[in-house]
Amino acid sequence: MGRSRAGRLTAVAATAAAVAISTSGSSWVPSPSNPVGSSQDSATLAANGHGCSLHRLRGDFRDSVDSQSRRVAVGVSWAGLFGAAVGFGSKTRPARADDMDFMAEVEVKKVSKKARKKVTGEYKNQVEAASEALHSLQSRWGKIEKEGAPGAGQIVDEISGALNRQVTILVPAGEAIGVDADACRVTSVTRGGLGWKSGDRIEYVNDVEVMDQQALMDEVKGLKKDNKALKFGVNRMSTSPFITLEKALTKVYGDADATVVLPDPSDIGKQFREFKFEAELTKDGYGDLKVLKKKLDAYAVEVDKFADA
């Protein structure tokens, strides 16, 4: 009654070990050569003159528990008994394999949630620009089809090399133009919301052609003096996003969430080359616009997957 909690727990652990030993028919027997004892069959023990029998081990529990506890105490390290005592006294059950699976699942969910953010950056912007260009071709297909070979030539131009686009910039009366220009070319933009891009070349102001910087300044000054709105006709040159698109697709492929299913970028590159080849054939009068349209639509579907990643 006067024993501490740890002492009682140690006794319980020893008793449990003794029961396990007696049930198995083996004993921990200390010897000069093996002070911690060795597990031997009870019959072998009796034959070797140790005076221990299976009957004694399985005898009256109350009579044998003390001797068995002492025997166990010799064979089992105190560290083991202390661990057993702690284990008996703890309210926390041991970890199980399904606990590990659960924790792994939680970790995967945490990572997936964090990684589900959309891909951003220069390469993603390039992919989105390519997607927009393909949808633009689809929206203008009726006109391209009517033009025939020249229409296919327009496609070749838009997916190859530099692109020239005519853009209109509107500036309300009394408002700042929002750019600095040199030799009619925009060098810096202070009002990007109007649609200006650095590098734009101003060719017209309110439908009047301007050939040099002085003509541009004079025209703008006169219109502003009359408090009129300004309409700039701009030539914008840009590099086709398709030139290095496969590289951009590969980058987006690597950065995308693992749960997002994307096709192999090299397969998309092959698809683009087939589409471009068909456009070149049609431009030269050997291709088929219907086949070209099918290739355009199929290619656009695959590029859209990367644009949405």
The residue count of the chain comes to 309
- Of 225, 192, 220, the closest CA to residue 205 belongs to 220
- List b or e across 5-31, with b for residues whose CB sees 16 or more CB atoms inside 10 angstroms: eeeebbbebbbebbeebbeeebbbbee
> What's the token pair of residue 78?
């105190």
Q: Where in the chain is the domain with CATH 2.30.42.10?
A: 122-307
pLDDT at 5 over 50: no
pLDDT digit string, tens, across residues 45-54? 333 444 443 3
Q: What DSSP state is assigned to residue 127?
A: H
Task: Round to whole Å and give the CA distance between 183 and 222.
Answer: 19
Contacts of 229 (CB under 8 A, 6+ apart): 170, 171, 172, 173
Mean pLDDT over each residue of the chain, to the nearest integer: 75
122-307, which class in CATH? mainly beta
pLDDT band at 75 (very low <50, low <70, confident <90, very high): very low
Q: What is the mean pLDDT of residues 98-104?
A: 48
Identify the pLDDT of residue 37. 45
- List b or e across 101-120, with b for residues whose CB sees 16 or more CB atoms inside 10 angstroms: eeeeeeeeeeeeeeeeeebe
Residue 186's alpha-carbon distances to 8, 175, 176, 232, 263, in angstroms, are 90, 18, 14, 12, 40
Helix (H) or strand (E) holding 114: helix 97-115
Do residues 14 and 72 touch, judged by C-beta distance below 8 A? yes
pLDDT digit string, tens, across residues 86-95? 444 444 444 4
**Radius of gyration for the chain, computed over Cα atoms and rounded to the nearest angstrom:** 43
> What's the token pair of residue 288?
């088929």
pLDDT digit string, tens, across residues 20-43? 444 444 444 444 444 444 444 443
- Of 58, 90, 59, 68, the closest CA to residue 16 belongs to 68
Task: Round to whole Å and give the CA distance between 249 and 247.
Answer: 5
Q: What is the mean pLDDT of residues 170-186?
A: 94
Q: Are strands 179-182 and 185-189 parallel, antiparallel or unpaired?
A: antiparallel
Task: Round to whole Å and give the CA distance between 219 and 205.
Answer: 7
Identify the pLDDT of residue 58. 36
Identify the pLDDT of residue 184. 95
Long-range CB contacts for residues 22-28, cutoff 8 Å, separation at least 24? 22/57, 22/58, 22/64, 22/68, 25/54, 25/57, 27/52, 27/57, 27/71, 28/71, 28/72, 28/74, 28/75, 28/76
pLDDT band at 138 (very low <50, low <70, confident <90, very high): very high
